[in-house]
Amino acid sequence: MTVKVTRSMLKRQAIIDGALSAFQQYGVSDTSMDKIAQTAQVSKRTVYNHFESKEQLVTHIIKEIWRQNILTCDIEYQADMALDVQLAALLKNELDFLSNQNLQELIRVAIGYCLFNPDIFTAEMSEFFEQETALVRWIKQAVSAGRLRQVEPQKAHAQLISLLKGQAFWPQILHQQPVLTNAQIEELTEDTVAFFLAYYQA
Amino acid sequence: MTVKVTRSMLKRQAIIDGALSAFQQYGVSDTSMDKIAQTAQVSKRTVYNHFESKEQLVTHIIKEIWRQNILTCDIEYQADMALDVQLAALLKNELDFLSNQNLQELIRVAIGYCLFNPDIFTAEMSEFFEQETALVRWIKQAVSAGRLRQVEPQKAHAQLISLLKGQAFWPQILHQQPVLTNAQIEELTEDTVAFFLAYYQA
DNA sequence: TGAAAAGTAAACTAGTTAGTGTAAAAATAC
DNA sequence: GTATTTTTACACTAACTAGTTTACTTTTCA
């Protein structure tokens, strides 16, 4: 059942890890292929054997980062449970994800690259942002069960995510605020649940 | 009363404008001093006569961008006017600011640079983010007038700004969404006012 | 064991980069 | 009108860049 790990695969992974580590430290433009090879403890030629160009290596990694940036969560709407408890669990889950320091570093690299290379978005990336999340699904179900007011689920979802990201994501991405503590996550969850349900609960 | 404009000042401004234009197109790292001189229609030596190094030129411009990123608004709390009308005016003002395409391009440059040069923040930049805005002042006054619930004004302010930026700023910065139309700004204002006052109005 | 595949170091190309030195030309100041 | 400041073009350094070539070693795998 264990998959054979070839040396080639190990080298390839070392290159990706090394590149990512260098990108996090210096940004994409200020990371040279020599630096990547050095960081990965690999010959520069090996880098070019695995990736035709710097451009290819970069886009591979950026796409991989966005691919990881999909929240999987299997919390479903339950008819017999209080709304605030359910919503709190969903938001907590989302916040744990957004507050993950490792993810934030990855996204910082992706953003730094995509800001001035917007082409990478349009086609392949948009799918990542348009897919239905567990939170949207939950809102839809709660609305059709008559326990939330009649709203566009996408709009309510956008409001919730804005409230979370505005405190727990963007300030950290910009290095303005440290990553939230568990207590702060708890507080933000409660505040947001109360705020949201005051307006939307049926 | 008109201030004398020397040639030196004109050249200096041309350099700043040229650098900014190049930064917006290519990002800071991928803009060379030769390119800046060329864009500014100025000799490269003149660039170095005005700015000792690329680093100095860049930080000067980045600081200037953040300095402009201060919302000045003279709408004050008025005891005899409906809260929703007042808040709508404040949010509209803020949204017009955030939706300004020119500002978004400036901030994209600043963010692109600051992502991997966080040092520029800590000392000199923090003041820009900590100053009291018209919106905070308004919330404070409305609270002490007993027309909004007792809350930390900073927290309520942060929630409002998160709701606006999540729809009208961050998606545009990341090139995911086009700048909002006037109708969309109108809708976002109304939604946000209703959402906010449902929870906070006394 | 032995051939094929993958990795290595190091030198190399050709282009770019930040920043300097210089001497002439142009604008400014008085 | 002369002295001073500023701008200019251009050549230059020294370092770095993406990517290639070569000659050699190590790993894989049948």
Per-residue pLDDT of chain B (202 residues; tens, 9 = 90+): 456 678 889 999 999 999 999 999 999 999 999 999 999 999 999 999 999 999 999 999 999 988 887 767 778 899 999 999 999 999 999 999 999 999 999 999 999 999 999 888 766 666 666 677 889 999 999 999 999 999 999 999 999 999 999 999 999 998 878 999 999 999 999 999 999 999 999 8
If you average pLDDT over residues A166-185, what whole number do you get? 94
B43 nearest nt, CA–C1': D8
Return the CATH architecture of domain B7-51. Answer: Orthogonal Bundle (1.10)
For B119, counting Cβ atoms within 10 Å of its Cβ (0-12 exposed, 13-18 middle, 19+ buried), the class is: exposed
Bigger pLDDT: B68 or A142?
A142
B37 nearest nt, CA–C1': D8
User: A110 pLDDT exceeds 60?
Assistant: yes
Do A165 and B170 lie within an 8 Å CB cutoff?
A: yes
Fold of the domain spanning A7-64: Arc Repressor Mutant, subunit A (1.10.10)
Could you tell me which residues of chain B have a Cβ less than 8 Å from any Cβ in chain A? 25-27, 29-30, 108, 111-112, 114-116, 118, 121, 126, 129, 155, 158-159, 161-163, 165-167, 170, 173-176, 191, 194-195, 198-199
A59-62's contacts with Cβ under 8 Å and 24+ in sequence apart are A59/A120, A60/A16, A61/A16, A61/A19, A61/A20, A61/A23, A61/A109, A62/A109, A62/A110, A62/A113, A62/A114, A62/A120
User: A92 pLDDT exceeds 60?
Assistant: yes
Boundaries of every domain in chain B: 7-51, 67-200
Mention every residue, 6+ apart, whose C-beta is less than 8 A from residue B110. B62, B65, B66, B69
How far B125 CA sits from the closest chain A CA (Å)? Answer: 9
What is the model's pLDDT at position A1? 41
User: A72 pLDDT exceeds 50?
Assistant: yes
Bigger pLDDT: A72 or A193?
A193
Do B163 and A161 lie within an 8 Å CB cutoff?
A: no
Angle at A62 between CA A91 and CA A121, to 5 degrees: 80
What is the model's pLDDT at position A40? 97
Which of A195, A200, A201 is the best residue to mutate to test the B interface, defined by the most B CB atoms within 10 Å of its own CB?
Answer: A195
What is the model's pLDDT at position A74? 77
Return the CATH architecture of domain A69-200. Answer: Orthogonal Bundle (1.10)
All residues of chain A having their beta carbon less than 8 Å from the beta carbon of residue B121 are 174-176
Per-residue pLDDT band at A4 (split at 50, 70, 90): low
Do B159 and A163 lie within an 8 Å CB cutoff?
A: yes
User: A157 pLDDT exceeds 50?
Assistant: yes
How far B58 CA sits from the closest chain A CA (Å)? Answer: 15
If you average pLDDT over residues A184-191, what whole number do you get? 97
Q: Which of A72-76, A183-187, B116-120, B132-136 has the lowest mean pLDDT?
A: A72-76
Residue A8 CB in 7 A reach of strand C:
yes
Half-sphere exposure of B113 (CA within 13 A, CB side): 28
What is the model's pLDDT at position B173? 94
- Chains A, B: CB pairs < 8 Å: 94
All residues of chain A having their beta carbon less than 8 Å from the beta carbon of residue B175 are 114-115, 118, 121
B98-103's contacts with Cβ under 8 Å and 24+ in sequence apart are B98/B164, B98/B165, B98/B168, B98/B169, B99/B168, B99/B169, B99/B172, B99/B179, B99/B180, B99/B185, B101/B179, B103/B68, B103/B69
Tell me how far apart the alpha carbons of residues A157 and A97 are, in angstroms, rounded to a whole number. Answer: 16
What is the model's pLDDT at position B73? 73
CATH number of B67-200: 1.10.357.10
What share of chain A has pLDDT > 70, as a percent?
93
Per-residue pLDDT band at A140 (split at 50, 70, 90): very high
All residues of chain A having their beta carbon less than 8 Å from the beta carbon of residue B174 are 111, 114-115, 121
Per-residue pLDDT band at A124 (split at 50, 70, 90): low
Tell me how far apart the alpha carbons of residues A51 and B109 are, in angstroms, rounded to a whole number. Answer: 29
If you average pLDDT over residues A53-75, what whole number do you get? 87
What is the model's pLDDT at position B1? 41
